[in-house]
Amino acid sequence: MFPIIAISGTPHERGRQYGAQARGLVQLSIASYARLFAYCGLGWDEAQARAARYRGAIAAAAPALLEEMAGIAEGAGVAEAEILALNARTEILPPTYPAEPSGAWPAARERNRDAGIADWGECTALAVQPAASRDGKTWLAQNWDWIGAQRSAMVLLRVTGEDGRCLLTLTEAGMLAKIGLNERGLGVCLNILRSVDDGLAPGMPVHVLLRHLLGCDDVAAAIAAARSLHHGASSNILVADRGGNAGSIEVSPRGVAVLRPANGTLAHTNHFLDAEQAIHAATLNPLASTEQRLACATDHARRGPLGRDEIFGLLRDTSGGELAVSRFPDPALAPEVRIETVAGVAMDLTEGVMWVAPDVPARVAFAAVPL
C-alpha cells in the first residue's frame, strides 16, 4: 500500500509536516516531472518559471493552500517554485502530450542534469447514485492512468484542518490533492481533458482546485466553487456526495459545464462530453483510448445494480488489451509516454472508506483505507 501521511494544524504547519514525511518522494516527483517536461522541450527551470504565473490565481481563491505549498517546500528541503510546478504540472504540459519528443528534448535534459536534477491515457471514472447501487450507497470510482514511474511517488494524505474537518486524498508527493473524499461525504475524481486554450493564460491549477473542492460540503457547493473561478487548463472533475448527488464538472479556460447522471450512473474518461466545450478540444493521441474506455464503463453501468464487487470488476477490466480500463504498460513505447494504470480507487461515500489498489487493479487486491 502507498504510504499514509497524516497532517494537521495551520496551513504552513500541515505543509511542513507533509514535506518532511514525504521528503524523498517529493524529490522523486520532481525528478519524474523534470524528465517529462524535458521530453516536451521544457527544462525544469522553465517549468518553474511558467508555474509562477499561477501563483496569483491561487492566492486570490485559496491563499491558505499557497501557504501549505510553502510549508511543503520547507519540509521537503526544495524550492517553493518546485512545489508550485508540481501542482501546476497539468497546466504546464502541452495539450498535445503524449506525442513525439520535442526537438529540444536533449538540450532540456542536459540543462536539468547541469542543475543537478535526477533522471529517471489517463483515467476512467464512474459515479453511482444510491438508486443504481446494489447496497443503496453512493460510490465514486476511478482508475488513474499515468506514467508508471510515478507509482513510487504516490501517497495517501490524511488532512485535519484547524476546524477539525478532515479529508483523505490519493495524490502524488508534493501535490495538494487528486482523488479524494471528506468527512461530509463529498468525493472527487479527475479526468484530464485537453483544449486548444490550455496554458495560454493563468488560472486555478486543477490539482489545487481538487483540494479546494474537498473543502466543500456537497456537490452543489463544489459546482458553485468551480464556476466562481477561472481555469488555466481543461479537466473533468467527477463529484458525488453522501446525499446521492453527482455530476461531472468539465472545466476549461472558456468556462464550466456540468453533466448529470442518467439512470443513476455517470461515467467519464478523457474527452469533453459537453457539446460546447468539445468544439475547442485539442486533438487526442490514439494512446488516450478515451472512447473505448467510456464505452466499457457505460456497458458495466448498464448491466444492473452496482456494488463494491461490480465496481472492482470495472476497474479490473482488461478487455481492450493495452488500451483497457485496467491498463498494463506497453514496453514498445518510450518510458515518457508509457501510460499504465498507476492505481485504482473506489470510494464508499456513505461510509467514508476509500478502497485502493496500489498497482494495475487487474493484478492486485483492493485494500480499505478509512477516512
Average pLDDT per run of 10 along the chain, which is 371 residues long?
Answer: 97 98 97 90 93 96 97 98 96 73 51 46 88 96 93 98 96 98 98 92 96 98 98 97 98 97 96 95 77 94 93 94 86 79 97 98 97 92
Q: What is the CATH number of the domain that holds 365?
A: 3.60.60.10
Q: Is the residue at 1 inside a domain?
A: no
Strand order in the sheet with 339-348: 265-268, 124-128, 139-147, 339-348, 353-357, 367-370
Phi-psi region of 7 (alpha: psi -120 to 50; beta: other; left: phi over 0): beta
Please identify, among 60, 80, 114, the residue that sits at the C-terminal boundary of a domain.
114
Q: Into how many domains does the chain fold? A: 2
For the chain, how many residues are written? 371
Measured between alpha carbons, how far is 148 from 163 in angstroms, rounded to an integer?
36
Q: Is the residue at 3 inside a domain?
A: no
Q: Is the residue at 119 inside a domain?
A: no
Q: Is the residue at 225 inside a domain?
A: yes
* Residue found under cell 479529508: 167
Please identify, among 94, 114, 134, the residue that sits at the C-terminal boundary of a domain.
114
| Whether residues 64 and 176 fall in one domain | no
Please identify, among 82, 114, 146, the residue that sits at the C-terminal boundary of a domain.
114
Measured between alpha carbons, how far is 47 from 112 in angstroms, rounded to an integer?
11
Look at strands 179-182 and 139-147 and give their pairing: unpaired
3-state secondary structure the chain: CCCEEEEECCHHHHHHHHHHHCHHHHHHHHHHHHHHHHHCCCCHHHHHHHHHHHHHHHHHHCHHHHHHHHHHHHHHCCCHHHHHHHHCHHHHCCCCCCCCCCCCHHHHHHHHHHCCCCCCCCCEEEEECHHHECCCCCEEEEEEEEEHHHHHHEEEEEEECCCCCEEEEEEECCCCCCEEEECCCEEEEEEECCECCCCCCCCECHHHHHHHHCCCCCHHHHHHHHHCCCECCCEEEEEEECCCCEEEEEEECCEEEEECCECCEEEECCCCCCHHHHCCECCCCHHHCHHHHHHHHHHHHHCCCECHHHHHHHHCCCCCHHHCCCCCCCCCCCHHHCEEEEEEEEEECCCCEEEEECCCHHHCCCEEEEC
| Whether residues 270 and 157 fall in one domain | yes
| Whether residues 325 and 195 fall in one domain | yes
Please give the single-letter amino acid code of residue 119. Answer: D
| Whether residues 53 and 89 fall in one domain | yes
| Whether residues 57 and 196 fall in one domain | no
pLDDT of residue 117: 42
CB 138 within 8 A of CB 242: yes
| Whether residues 88 and 145 fall in one domain | no
**pTM of the predicted model as reported, rounded to 2 decimal places:** 0.92
Instruction: Count CB-CB contacts under 10 A for residue 260.
Output: 11
| Whether residues 60 and 179 fall in one domain | no
Q: Is the residue at 275 inside a domain?
A: yes
Q: Which of 216, 206, 148 is nearest to 176 (CA)?
A: 206
Strand order in the sheet with 246-252: 4-8, 154-160, 166-172, 179-182, 186-192, 235-241, 246-252, 255-259
| Whether residues 177 and 53 fall in one domain | no
Q: Is the residue at 2 inside a domain?
A: no
Measured between alpha carbons, how far is 213 from 264 in angstroms, rounded to an integer?
23
| Whether residues 334 and 256 fall in one domain | yes
Nine cell digits for residue 322: 493495452
CB 256 within 8 A of CB 250: yes
| Whether residues 223 and 348 fall in one domain | yes
Q: How far is CA 105 from CA 38, 110, 135, in A?
A: 5, 9, 51
| Whether residues 159 and 234 fall in one domain | yes
Domain of residue 299 covers 124-370
| Whether residues 314 and 166 fall in one domain | yes
pLDDT of residue 39: 86
